[in-house]
Amino acid sequence: MRLVTFICLLALAAAGSALAFAPTAITFQGQVTENGGGNVPDGNHSLTFRVYNVANGGAPLYATTEGVDVMGGIFSVVLPIGLPFDETYWIGVQYEAEAEMTPRVPFTSAPYAMNVHENAAVTSLNGNTGAVNLIAGANVSIVPSGNNFIIAATGAVTDADWNVAGPDMTAIPLGNVGIGAPVPETKLQVAGDVTVGTGTDFGYFRAYNGFGIQSIFGGDYLGEGGEWKMLDESGSPFGIMQPDADGMGGFFFVSNGGFGTAFQIDGNSSGTGSPEISMFGNNSAVVFDLEATENLAAQLPSSSVSAEEILDEPGLASINAHGSSSFPVPDAYGVVTSRSITAPTDGFLLVMCSLEIDLRHEGTNASYVNAGLSLSPNVVDNNQDLTYYLPGGAANGIYLNPSTPTNVYPVSAGSHTVYLNARKVGTTTSFIWDVQMNLVFIPTSYGTVALAGDVDQGDQETNQSVSRPLSSGDIANEQRTSAQANEQRMQRELDQMRADFEALKREVENSRNGNPSTSSR
């Protein structure tokens, strides 16, 4: 239920009236408040006024319903009551469709002054007798209008604490304002929640210092929610927190002193739901993208631990076989054992193997065992025709011989399998024991890599071609070739680093041109 408080009741005689009981009008001014003490909303409200000659009960002597404009809870209305005011009257007020408010308010002396006969005089006013003067105070005017005196406020109204001018009200600079705080300690102290804006009107909180606005809170960024922005003395933002432009999540940005983005976190990068963290320097950048895979997940400067040589670091695979049970060597090449390895990128595969050959010689014929490596089963590479040979005149018996096949293979990214293959020649029974095969992936070379042919084209037992020893010219040529290969490797890596740097540089330029987000945002 609302409450109406009367501010003043002014009796105004109808203009041109010469009767002792002329038709009269009374101006009512009041304030309408809610139960909690706040004013009712501004606008036109329906108020019903009833005049009685009893404090309770009875029938109204006068009643009217008026559409009254209310501003800041204050209203003013003129009622042509027309009663003689020769007895005590009370007025009752009803707000909208609510019940009439209680208790009724008795009329004070002002309306009864209308009950003055023609040529009669007022001999007293509020206890004062004789001549009574009306004197306007500060910001108040008294203007005669016919038989009426119009008393109104003019310009700003000032007291010791507040200055009111039109729709604005300001506190005297030396004072503090407390809302729910009996003794405010600052210019404004609020005990409780503070709301800025409404459901339809966006609200910002702006904090100033001697250079102007220094921080902004609230508002509605791109229709996604509120934002936080910190400004430096030039008015440029050095810290921003906003809703993510992709619809959900948050975005945080720190500048590097007005020249672009220094640090940013995109909580929902490209709408993937995964974060992306970026840091930008003058000549380098660092990007962590949790939605990316492999090398793109962590992009670091070329001189850091993410350089190409480290990203695709060496890796090992190995196998140990035939330690407790031997492998009987067949007459045609067969697989003794194998091992697979997965290369993360193009590079080289270094294979090192050790084994023991058990040749049990019988008879007068020569016998031997071939054991070597290959990327295919049941064959050996051209440089893998490693032979343990016994001539026909050798004494019968068991001969044990260690062998260490080793080879290098160029490989591409993916899985590769290396095979240890072996065969015997002659009627002698042979076995292979204690095989250890190690596969090492190496991502790059630092010199010349000489590779063997595809598969074995013959046995050294029947191929009698002889190579001459290396000359000093051969050695110098090998050294030049190795140096050239290393220079070519470094040039390839440098070209890749330059391409990565140019991509990051373009990203920094985009940020300096007003877009703090990366190209993936």
Q: How confident is the model at residue 240 (pLDDT cuts 50, 70, 90)?
A: confident
**Mean of per-residue pLDDT scores for the chain:** 78
Average pLDDT of span 431-459:
78
| 8 Å CB contact between 333 and 419 | no
Residues near 126 by beta carbon (within 8 Å), at least 6 away in sequence: 109
Average pLDDT of span 244-263:
76
Range with the largest mean pLDDT of 52-61, 96-105, 448-457: 52-61
User: How is residue 479 written in tokens?
Assistant: 């050294």
At 166 the pLDDT is 66
User: How is residue 183 written in tokens?
Assistant: 């003794």
* The model's pTM: 0.38
Taking Cα atoms as reference points, which of 170, 171, 188, 169 lies closest to residue 179? Answer: 188
- Give the CATH architecture of domain 3-153: Sandwich (2.60)
Partners of 227 in the β-ladder = 218
Lowest-pLDDT range of 187-191, 294-298, 470-474:
470-474
Average pLDDT of span 425-435:
90
Q: How confident is the model at residue 56 (pLDDT cuts 50, 70, 90)?
A: very high
The CATH class, in words, for 315-442 is: mainly beta
Residue 455 pLDDT greater than 50, yes or no: no
Q: What is the DSSP string of 70-100?
A: EBTTEEEEEE-------S--EEEEEETTSPP
Average pLDDT of span 35-54:
89
Residue 154 pLDDT greater than 70, yes or no: no
Alpha-carbon distance of 369 to 430, in angstroms, equals: 8
At 453 the pLDDT is 53
CA dihedral for 368, 369, 375, 378, sign (positive or negative): positive
Average pLDDT of span 475-490:
74
At 6 the pLDDT is 59
Q: How confident is the model at residue 174 (pLDDT cuts 50, 70, 90)?
A: low
Within 332-469, residue ranges assigned H as helices are none
At 374 the pLDDT is 94
Residue 332 pLDDT greater than 80, yes or no: yes
Q: How confident is the model at residue 411 (pLDDT cuts 50, 70, 90)?
A: very high
Q: Considering the chain, what percentage of its residues have pLDDT values greater than 70?
A: 73
Q: How confident is the model at residue 222 (pLDDT cuts 50, 70, 90)?
A: low
Residue 13 pLDDT greater than 50, yes or no: no
Provide the residue ranges of all domains of the chain, joining segments of one domain with +: 3-153, 315-442
User: How is residue 462 written in tokens?
Assistant: 């029947």
At 191 the pLDDT is 85
Residue 406 pLDDT greater than 50, yes or no: yes
Range with the largest mean pLDDT of 110-119, 146-155, 287-296, 394-403: 394-403
At 189 the pLDDT is 84
Alpha-carbon distance of 499 to 14, in angstroms, equals: 94
| 8 Å CB contact between 377 and 387 | no
Within 287-353, residue ranges assigned H as helices are 308-311
Residues near 216 by beta carbon (within 8 Å), at least 6 away in sequence: 204, 205, 206, 207, 227, 228, 229, 231
Residue 209 pLDDT greater than 80, yes or no: no
